[in-house]
Structure 1
Amino acid sequence: MQSRRPLPEQATRLAALRVFCDRALDEYPELSPYDQFAPGFWDGIDVLRIAEDWVRQHPEDGPEALADGFVFPTVWDDLEDLRDQQRYGLQYRICDAWITAHPDTYALEQIGARLQHMLQFALEDSDYPLPTDEDDPAYYRRSPDQAWALPDVQACIHRLSNYPSTPTWQTFAGWLLDGSWNREQPPSAPGEEQRKIADAYIYVHQEIKRIALGLVEAGCLDYPRFVRGANTWGSAMMFYGGDAGLDSDDVDPDRYTHEAFGEEDSSDEGPEDEDVDDESFQNDDVLDEAPTPVHPELASLTVRYVEEALAGLPDNAAKLADTFRSVEVYDTRWMLQALAVIERLGATPDGFFDRFGDTAAVLERFLLLQELPEDQSAALLAALTGFSRNTLLTALPYAGHASRVVLDALGWSDLQAFQREYLSIALAPRSGWGTDLPNTLDETVGVVDRYLLDKALAEADPEHLRDYLVALEHSHWAFPETRVLLDAYRGIGRLALEKKLARHAQPAMRIYGVLPVMDSDDVRQRYLTLKKLHKEVRKYGAQRQANSHAAVQAGLENLARVAGYPSAIRLEWAMESEIAESALTAATIDGYDVTIVIDGLSPALHICKAAKPLKTAPPAIRKHADFIALKTQQTQLKEQIARFCRTLETMMSSGETLALAELKPLLKMPAVRLLLEQLIVQVDDAALGWLDAATLTVTDLEGRRHVAEKHLRIAHPFHLFTAGQLSAWQKEVVTHRRVQPFKQAFRELYLLTPAERETALWSNRFAGHRLKGKVAARLLQVRNWSTSSVEDIYYESKEHGIYALFNFLDTGHYLSETEHFTFDTIAFHRDQKAIPLEQVPPLLFSEVMRDADLLVSVAYAADSYATSNETLQRRAELVGELIQGLGLQNVKCEGHFLHVTGQRASYRIHLGSAAIHIEPGNYLCIVPVVASAEAFYLPFADTDRKMAEVLSKMFLLLDDMDITDSQILEQIQRGG
């Protein structure tokens, strides 16, 4: 066949137009900075004015030349140089602008002729060189939607849909809908689904709807043509009117045009799409159109087509499955018609989709009733009684809001409550059919309301329940994980479930807690198993780790409900108390006395022989059962202390209070007593002081004792600050050389700054810091931030219903896969709305800012990090108290520096970087070494490593006469 080429007179006009465009590049000042790759270059250029200048210069054939220039494209590869590319880019735009503004008959004929050629010869011709084999770079262009340069099929149909309804237009439009050109495409691979040419153009459906409307208004769309159009264009020809009880949940396909073209053009040479806008950019106006009422005749034609299509099943089922993929049903008549088809076909639940495939896909859409007013239930029930049991069972999983009526028709009203609970478990959070306990950050997924489920199971007839579950096995209501949960709830399948746990399967973690309690030790063992899983999943990536932690939490919540505890945290406290009370803490083994002793915050084994301490356990007792039990208990106690450190720090950060009834069981645990007695607490929202666990009294700074009467909270630095006692408590901690389990008195405190009061809704405090993606992702996850999406880095405060959001720039799809990114703003949201920073609870604000500070200090991408004022202030306060408490001479703290006067020289140490300078300014390099825990005192166990480095250097330089390292001495001598 012959490719479509310009006629001689058209070629003459095109040559003149090319000369004009080439000259225009030099004569129009706005085109002088032409850069085909500059984004938005054409936004400020009036290309229609340039087209009008051309027409004024060529009044006789100028408009025809512009139409010719639009429909006879130049392939990008054929453009010789940059100038040629720029000229063609301008030509396409002025032609496009002119024919859009002046839709005359000649342009319509040319667009129609190109469109007819592209569709009739979709498999034989192309604007590009035809490939010879699969390795050819142009191979992908054999897809009909990739075979043509602009204006391609989509561009021509878009122009056609916006033309006035003249007789010429009606001829083109009718031909397009009739689909005589719509041949089958050859499959790319054996067994591939058979597609037709029109199937490649799903992005013109809105245009097809406009064309159909134009034809019906012109009286040119009868039912036979409508059927041909529907058989060609599928869902584009479906006009659902509300009166018919039909609608569509389809999203406007034009919305995804940019994305789709980007994907399919990814292997193309690229510049053509950079320079000449494709139709995705021409259709933006369509996205903004308000919905218009459906033309009554189009709605009537659609209803007739739907009725005949359903009655004619299974003929043409594959095409109908696509045509009706988005239909929504609001009237029971469609459901009843679908049921009639199922009855006629003799379908059964076990073979519905396996035997009937596309037919089942069509029927599923019409069975899914979107709503059912209560006053229509009786009429539907009466109609359903006319269908067989197999038909009703087949339809049950797809019946939507009518499923409860189907249950009644089956005589299974006793299963109403069970079905409600069954779907509630499987489909929470509700994100579409078939979710079935998804891997998610939602800790409520898979958590069972035992009261409702027990009630539902008690109401259900066992035989009905068995038949119900069998009927669902082959449907999308099969929900295998939910079935496992129901079995576990009844004590079935424990071994299989534990095997899944060993593979860290997340649904199994959620389900494990629902197993019935077997014996007195079962709850504790399952509690320890879930806690062990929480630790083991840290080896995975950030997303799986976060989802697994949520699954473990759901499992603990289920276990708490099974064991009769009001919440997972109360279960944790009870289990830890049991572990502590039943623990073996001492034993005499073959004459050796072995005892677990908590030294600081670390449990250790003390071994004595005849009252003489031994450094290590002798080999003779290491395999003894009691020694192994003590070693195990030492490990469990160490883990318990770590767990409660995190729990108590979280309680301090949130300001949570503990009622005395909750506190007393906790204090039975030696580890908790140890931790709480090293923390400053506040009783009854009043007195601050040290807790005496034995008497439940608190001693304040003046030595006064206050009896706890209602509740107790672990004081946050904000509480100390607002009471005007922060400095005094810091002094108290250092003076008595207390070691707090985590930073409390010297914890960084972040208060609103004037700049943040001015910005009101966001903080720029850490904006601009460049961070390492992998380090940041790990740190955020450990700090309980959600990192599942870089567009949604958040921390949820359940106490306040507030989400704190970190906004980052320059990120990829996943934070952990982004090499570097930039911190931007911090904001807080409630109910998806930003709230003023002044309304954020002070403790939440301070802790979020502390996480941000920690993030930029640990994950900083540059060589050094400018430590925040809050961190420097806490370090200065700590050093000041240590200097005074230890009675150190020749040391003083001024601003951000620690000044040390040695015998060899005077030094200053920066509190942020730990960098040393010999006064007046020479740098002193001392490589830090890891110091032992006993090297010097710090008032908290979670050591600030940089602070430890500052202090180690301070002690070293105070006694600089004892320095023996030759490299350090050489620097001091040279610097002094």
Structure 2
Amino acid sequence: MGLVARLMRALTDPDFTPEDEDRHPDLSQVSDEELGSLLATAYRVDGSATHATRLVRYALEKAAADRQPRYTPDACRRMFEALAERCEKHGWADLTRGLDALERCTGPLPDVSEPACVLVGLWLEKEPVRQPYALLAVAGLAGDETLRAAVEHLARDVGPIVAEEMAVIAGLTPAERALLSEINRDHGFVDAPLAHVWRRAADSPAYVAFARRALEAAADRTDAIRTGEIPYRADKAFTDREITSLGQALRVALLRDEPWLPELLERLLPGVALAPTAAKTLPSQALLYEVVRAAQDFPTPELVTAIRTVRRTVRHAGVPKQLDKMIKKVDAALAERTDVALRLPRLGFDTASISGSVAGGVLRRTVGDYQAVVLVAETATLTWEKDGRPLRSVPAPVRRDHAALVKELRDLVKRVNAQLVTLVRALEGGFTVDAVHPYGWWRTELAGHPLARTLVRRLIWEVEVAPDEWRSVLPETDEHLPDAPHDASVRLWHPLRSEPHAVRAWRDLLTERCIRQPFKQAFREIYLLTPAEEQTRVYSNRFAAHLVHYLKMFALFRARGWGSDRLGPWDCGDDGRAERTLAAGEWRVRFFHSWADWAGDDELASTDQVRFDRRVGSAWREAPLADVPPLVFSEAMRDVDLFVGVSSIAADPDWTDGGPRRTYWERASFAELTASAEVRREALEGILPRLKIADRCSLDGRFLIVRGDLGTYKIHLGSANILMAPDDAYLCIVPARRAGDGKVFLPFEDERLSLILSKAFLLAADTKITDESILMQIKRGA
């Protein structure tokens, strides 16, 4: 008996005992068409089947997730019959399975009207009705009468926006209805739809037209609530189903980057977030969150700015905190969407000279005898002048007679600062897609833009001055930009693409000129594949086996745009993974970790493997590490290094637990330097000679050596923990949150580097230490 026959019998004959190899079959021997036939039978298997039968079904479904099965007309019909049977027996079934079978049918489409009619009837008995798009597609297969009944039922008591949506979808062709059903899969049956699914939906002219009408109707409704035409009721502006429909309409409009959308969102977002009264409630908190979730899928700079603006005006105490969490994911997603991320409005700003040299943006408004000046350097600031002389605060006559203008200007400053934050995140995110821009556009819209230029000038860029000949330039220090055609390519410089001597030269230049970049670029860590990772092939153990403060690491996941379920001491809460998509959604990195234990009131986790997946069609496929693009690999591992380095208990100077935890702490606190610590060491090489304690400091391997009057100290460049000479006694100093002496220039923001310098200044003047706990340790060590 062949494999397919044995599997079919295992699914249908309760008395059949599968062989061991059938319980975990090698389905690479099964064709796509045979797999489809088996799946149509497997869908009838439920919890009452034998354990062996269920194992076969799970194996088939896993194979289907990794492949695209094909279905004969007979298999299509049997799939619909299985769906009807499951729905009748268990109250639900995933309708999209039947639609997928028809889409991949290998012959003439079979007549499935009878089981389709049964399915629709059973589903319409349920409240709420799930997968409405798929239901309409199935209803169309059952005939016009069934389709009309489904539309009438789905449009009942759900609001006019959904009623129109159902009518629009009913008027589509069967193929268009089937395509739209794919975006309606986020109702607890399978994962949320992937980007390519939304692109297919965005190709339907009728649905695109509906999307605009729906969003305009939503904005009109919030306008009517604000004017009192519609009575205000907290969180009742839209029905639940309208919120889902508006979210889907918004995603299609965002994906298409519709030009009418920014102006409409300027109306809609304040309308859903701010009550027309002094109440602290919202017209629709649910729609506000749905808009932000749509922005996580397909962000635009205008929407990100609008969300940040609303976040500052909403009165509900809990909403800003929730929005802050969600915005971090939006920023990360926008950074990946480089086709729109770098778009900035000019907002009436002109270029100006700041401090006599650095060109920035300025906007001036005359108010009587005074002038308001909004200046954009690293951030935007609002100041006031009279007769060219700066004033310390808003003039009293302006505050009294022009309060609205003052508010408008302050809001403008907040808006510009929000856009600058978005721009920085987007520029940095461009590394993983190796973003390239036309040189002419870059000169006018980035390097020459009044809002962007002060950020762009402090970054290193590469211009392709001839085919495959790239010239590096730092606009802040170069009077003249390279001479290249308007269509030449320009991209951000990355140390991974440069020789070590060139990287060192840029780092020295930034330190000498005291130029702090908007994000760590010249001093950026790089991560190359190691021999050990070549051996493990599909996973890296580079950051495995660390003990970390779990809540701190979980917060870092959110801050860097990684998704992760919360772990804890509950069922299925032990093991988890954090993941992030990179390279415009083409690659995914997964960082595995486990909940470990309590440490007092703190929670500990242990770290494990890092793996990478490549997008193949509509699914993810695990990829060998050697196949991952070097920039994608380096940037992903940089994040993981950050997670471990910041949250490891080795970085906790006050750790006192014993046992295995103490053993780990002692090992990791003074271990070999990671890539981030190596960069810290190189930065110190340039910083130390400039310090007033330079004659008391030196670098030795993984330590900064500090000579005090009472003793000599070794500060580890990774953990910032301290050992005392001559016998390496541990010295515990709890951070005082003060960077160096407050005047030390750091070429990049690094809390650990600031902490190391703070400890160095303290210990270089150890005779001035007044903290008795520190003095006792020093004397005991001496």
TM (norm. structure 1) is: 0.50
Equivalent of residue 365 in structure 2, options 582, 587, 605: 587
User: Structure 2: how far apart are the matches of 1:620 and 1:933?
Assistant: 43
- Structure 1 letter corresponding to 2:249: I
CA 1:391–1:860 in structure 2 vs 1: closer, same or farther (change >3 Å)? closer
Alpha-carbon separation, structure 1, partners of 2:778 and 2:16: 85
Q: 1:596 aligns with which of 363, 374, 378?
A: 374
1:958 to 751, 754, 764: 764
State the 1:707 CA deviation: 8.4
Higher relative contact order (CA 8 A, sep 6+): 2
Alignment of 1:882-893 (within 5 A): 882-885=687-690, 888-893=694-699
Aligned counterparts of 2:690 and 2:51: Cα–Cα separation in 1: 72
Residue in 1 aligned with 2:474? 690
Higher strand share: 2
Which of 246, 249, 255 lines up with 1:511 in the alignment? 249
Report the CA distance between 1:641 and its aligned residue. 1.7
Matched AA of 1:927? V
Secondary structure of residue in 1 paired with 2:411:
helix
Partners of 1:570 and 1:667 lie apart in 2 by: 17
Is residue 876 from structure 1 mapped to residue 681 from structure 2 by the alignment? yes
- Which has the larger displacement, 676-685 or 548-557? 548-557
Q: Give the whole-Å Cα distance in 2 for the aligned partners of 1:811 and 1:630.
A: 50
Following superposition, the deviation at residue 487 of structure 1 comes to: 3.6
Q: CA deviation at 1:828?
A: 1.9
| CA displacement, residues 699-747 of structure 1 (integer Å, 9 cap, x when unaligned) | xxxxxx8888612111112123x36412221111101111111111222
1:678 aligns with 2:678: no
Of 335, 345, 349, 1:576 maps to 345
- Residue 431 of structure 2 aligns to a residue whose secondary structure is helix
Q: Report if aligned partners of 2:372, 2:385 keep a CA contact under 8 Å in 1.
A: yes
In the alignment, the residues of structure 2 paired with residue 762 and residue 206 of structure 1 have an alpha-carbon distance, to the nearest angstrom, of: 39
In structure 2, the CA distance between the partners of 1:740 and 1:397, relative to structure 1 (3 Å rule), is same
2-structure distance, mates of 1:810, 1:925: 27
Counterpart in the other structure of 1:759: 536
Query: In structure 1, which of residues 824, 831, 842 is the aligned counterpart of residue 608 of structure 2?
Result: 824
Equivalent pairs counted in the alignment come to: 595
- The alpha carbon displacement at 1:801 in A equals 2.5
State how far apart, in whole Å, the 2-side matches of 1:356 and 1:613 are. Answer: 68
1:638 to 374, 398, 417: 417
Corresponding position of 1:794: 579
Note if contact 1:733-1:939 (Cα within 8 Å) is conserved in structure 2. Answer: no
Please give the per-residue CA displacement for 1:66-90, whole angstroms capped at 9, x wherever unaligned: xxxxxxxxxxxxxxxxxxxxxxxxx
Q: Are 2:688 and 1:897 aligned?
A: no
CA contact (8 A) 2:439 2:463 kept: no
Q: 1:680 offset after TM fit, Å?
A: 1.5
Matches within 5 A, 1:353-752: 390=145, 393-394=148-149, 420-428=175-183, 440=192, 442-443=194-195, 452-453=204-205, 485=211, 487-488=213-214, 491-496=216-221, 508-512=246-250, 523=262, 526=265, 550-554=293-297, 556=299, 569-578=338-347, 585-589=363-367, 591-598=369-376, 601-609=378-386, 613-617=390-394, 620-622=397-399, 624=402, 625-663=404-442, 664-684=444-464, 686-691=470-475, 697=481, 710-720=488-498, 722=499, 724-752=501-529
Q: Please list the CA deviations of residues 123-165 of structure 1 after superposition, one character each: whole Å capped at 9, or x if unmatched.
A: xxxxxxxxxxxxxxxxxxxxxxxxxxxxxxxxxxxxxxxxxxx
TM-superposed deviation, 1:800: 7.9
Instruction: Name the CA distance, whole Å, in 1 between partners of 2:769 and 2:757.
Output: 16
> Quick one: structure 1 residues 422 and 800, their matched pair in 2 at CA, closer, same or farther if it must change by over 3 Å?
closer
Q: CA deviation at 1:658?
A: 1.6
Whether the 8 Å contact between 2:705 and 2:712 is mirrored in structure 1 is yes
Indicate the SS of the match to 1:752.
coil
Match of 1:272 in 2: none
Q: Is the 8 A contact 2:86 2:92 kept in 1?
A: no
Deviation at 1:507, TM superposition (A): 5.2
Tell me if the contact between 1:787 and 1:793 (Cα under 8 Å) persists in the aligned partners: yes
Instruction: Show the counterpart of 1:251.
Output: 42
Cα distance in 1 for partners of 2:87, 2:368 equals 83
Q: 1:422 to 1:557 in 2, by over 3 A?
A: farther
CA contact (8 A) 1:511 1:555 kept: no
- Give the 3-state SS of the residue equivalent to 1:671 in structure 2: coil
Cα distance in 1 for residues equivalent to 2:38 and 2:715: 73
Distance 2:259 2:56 in 1: 69
Shift of 1:427: 2.8
Letter of the 1:958 counterpart: A
**Against the structure 1 CA distance between its residues 950 and 707, is the aligned structure 2 distance closer, same or farther, given a 3 Å change threshold?**
farther
Q: Aligned pair in 2 of structure 1 residues 568, 917: CA closer, same or farther (>3 Å)?
A: closer
Identify the residue that residue 633 of structure 2 maps to in structure 1.
Answer: 845
RMSD: 5.7
Give the C-alpha shift of residue 853 in structure 1.
1.1
Secondary structure at 1:669's aligned position in 2?
coil
Rg bigger for which structure? 1
Change (3 A) 1:603 1:937: farther
Q: Which amino acid aligns with 1:805?
A: R
Name the CA distance, whole Å, in 1 between partners of 2:237 and 2:342: 25
1: CA distance, partners of 2:591 / 2:474: 36
CA shift digits 1:245-279 (9 cap, x unpaired): x9984537777469xxxxxxxxxxxxxxxxxxxx7
Indicate conservation of the 8 Å contact 2:507/2:523, yes or no: yes
User: Paired residue for 1:769, among 535, 546, 553?
Assistant: 546
Equivalent position of 2:735 in the other structure: 928
**Alpha-carbon deviation of 1:952?**
1.7
Cα gap change, 1:284 to 1:758, in 2 (>3 Å): closer
SS class of match (1:627): helix
Match of 1:782 among 537, 559, 578: 559
SS of the residue 2:380 aligns to: strand
Contact preservation (8 Å) 1:593, 1:609: yes
**CA offset at residue 852 of structure 1?**
1.1
Separation (CA, whole Å) in 2 of partners of 1:320 and 1:596? 63
Contact conserved, 1:926 with 1:968, CA < 8 A, in 2?
yes
Per the TM alignment, residue 915 of structure 1 is displaced from its structure 2 partner at its CA by 2.5
Of all paired residues, the percent bearing the same amino acid is 22
The counterpart of 1:907, out of the listed 713, 721, 726, is 713
Q: Is the 8 A contact 2:183 2:197 kept in 1?
A: yes
State the alpha-carbon separation in 1 of the partners of residues 46 and 125 from structure 2: 36
8 Å CA contact retained: 1:429, 1:445: no
Aligned-pair distance for 1:678?
Answer: 0.9
Report the CA distance between 1:895 and its aligned residue.
0.9
Tell me the secondary structure at the aligned position of residue 763 of structure 1.
coil
Q: Secondary structure at the match of 1:872?
A: helix
CA distance, structure 2, for counterparts of residue 497 and residue 435 of structure 1: 30
Residues 445-454 or 707-716, more deviating: 445-454
Measured in 1, the distance between the counterparts of 2:138 and 2:521 equals: 58
Q: Classify 1:450/1:807 alpha carbon distance in 2 versus 1 (closer, same or farther; 3 Å).
A: closer
| Match of residue 116 from structure 1 | none
**2: CA distance, partners of 1:955 / 1:319:** 72
Structure 2 spans left out of the alignment, 5+ residues: 1-9, 18-32, 61-73, 103-107, 128-133, 154-166, 226-234, 274-286, 304-335, 352-360, 567-574, 656-664
Cα distance in 1, alignment partners of residues 413 and 441 from structure 2: 26
Report the residue type matching 2:687 in the other structure: L
- Give SS of 2:437's match: strand
CA–CA distance in structure 1, aligned partners of residues 564 and 606 of structure 2 = 15
Question: Structure 1 residues 622, 933: CA separation in 2 closer, same or farther (over 3 Å shift)?
Answer: farther
